[in-house]
Amino acid sequence: MSLYTYLFYTQTSIAQDRQSLERMLRFEAELAQAQAACGIIPQQAADIIQACCRIEFLDIEKLKLEIRLGGNAAIPLVQQLTRIVKNNDVEASRYVHVGATSQDVIDTATMLEIQEWMQWFDAKLNELAHVLFELTKQYRSTIMMGRTLLQQAKPMTFGLKTATWLEAVLRSKRRMKGMEILGLQLQGAVGSGNSAIQKEVQQKMAQSLGLPLAHSWHSNRDNFAEWASFLGILSGSLGKMAKDISLLMQTELGEVMEGAADGKGGSSTMPHKRNPVTCAAILANATRSPALVSTLLSAMPQEQERSAGLWHAEWETLTTLVELSAGSMDKTIDLMKGLEVNEERMLANVGMTHGLIFAENVSLALTPAYGKLQAHELVEKACKQSIKQGKSLQEVLATMDLPIADLDRLFVPKNSIGNSLSTIDEILQSYENTL
Residue pair 272/225 in contact by the 8 Å Cβ criterion: no
Alpha-carbon distance 85 to 353, whole Å? 78
Cβ partners under 8 Å of residue 305, min gap 6: 189, 190, 191, 218, 219
Q: What is the mean pLDDT of residues 142-164?
A: 96
Structural domain boundaries of the chain?
Answer: 12-98, 103-188+216-350+422-435, 353-404
pTM of the prediction?
0.92
The pLDDT confidence band at residue 260, using thresholds 50, 70 and 90, is confident
pLDDT value of residue 14: 75
Q: Using CB atoms within 10 A of its CB, is residue 388 exposed (0-12), middle (13-18) or buried (19+)?
A: exposed
HSE-up of residue 416 (Cα within 13 Å, Cβ side): 28
Q: Is the pLDDT of residue 267 over 60?
A: no
Q: Is the pLDDT of residue 250 over 80?
A: yes
Q: How far is CA 49 from CA 193, 255, 291, in A?
A: 22, 62, 41
Q: Pairing mode, if any, of strands 256-257 and 151-157?
A: unpaired
The pLDDT tens digits for 6-58 are 888 887 777 788 889 999 999 999 999 999 999 999 999 999 999 999 999 99
Length of the chain: 435
Class of domain 12-98: mainly alpha
Give me the mean pLDDT over the 201-218 stretch.
Answer: 93
CB 129 within 8 A of CB 174: no
pLDDT on residue 341: 97
Which amino acid, one-letter code, is at 313? A
pLDDT confidence of residue 402: 85
Average the pLDDT over 135-158 and give the result.
96
Contacting residues for 256 by C-beta, under 8 A, at least 6 apart: 245, 248, 249, 339, 340, 341, 342
Would you say residue 268 has pLDDT above 60?
no
pLDDT band at 142 (very low <50, low <70, confident <90, very high): very high
CB atoms within 10 A of CB 1: 7
Q: Is 18 a catalytic residue?
A: no
The whole-number pLDDT of residue 251 equals: 92
Residues of the chain with pLDDT > 90: what percent? 77
Q: How far apart are CA 25 and CA 289, in angstroms?
A: 30
361 versus 84: the higher-pLDDT residue is 84
User: What does the pLDDT average to over 187-204?
Assistant: 92
Residue-wise pLDDT for 390-421, tens only, equals 999 888 888 888 888 888 898 899 999 999 99
- 3-class SS shares of the chain: helix, strand, coil, % to 5: 65, 5, 30
Please report the pLDDT score of residue 202 as a whole number.
96
Hey, what amino acid is at 401? Answer: D
- pLDDT tens per residue, range 294-326: 999 999 999 998 999 999 999 999 999 999 999
The pLDDT > 70 percentage for the chain reads: 97
Between CA 313 and CA 310 the distance in angstroms is 5
The answer to whether residue 2 scores a pLDDT higher than 90 is: no
Q: Which of 274, 306, 345, 392 is catalytic?
A: 306
Active site residue 94: no
Considering the chain, what is the average pLDDT of its residues?
Answer: 92
Those residues whose C-beta lies under 8 Å from the C-beta of residue 309, and which sit 6 or more positions away, are: none
Residues 363-375: tens digit of each pLDDT: 999 999 889 999 9
232-244 residue pLDDT tens: 999 999 999 999 9
- Give the confidence band of 229 by pLDDT, cuts at 50, 70, 90: very high
Q: Which CATH superfamily is domain 353-404 in?
A: Fumarase/aspartase (C-terminal domain) (1.10.40.30)
Element (H, E) at 369: helix 359-370
Q: Which of 267, 294, 298, 430 is catalytic?
A: 267
The whole-angstrom separation of Cα 156 and Cα 146 is 6
Residue 270 has a pLDDT of 55
* Protein fold of 103-188+216-350+422-435: Fumarase C; Chain A, domain 2 (1.20.200)
| pLDDT beyond 70 at 224 | yes
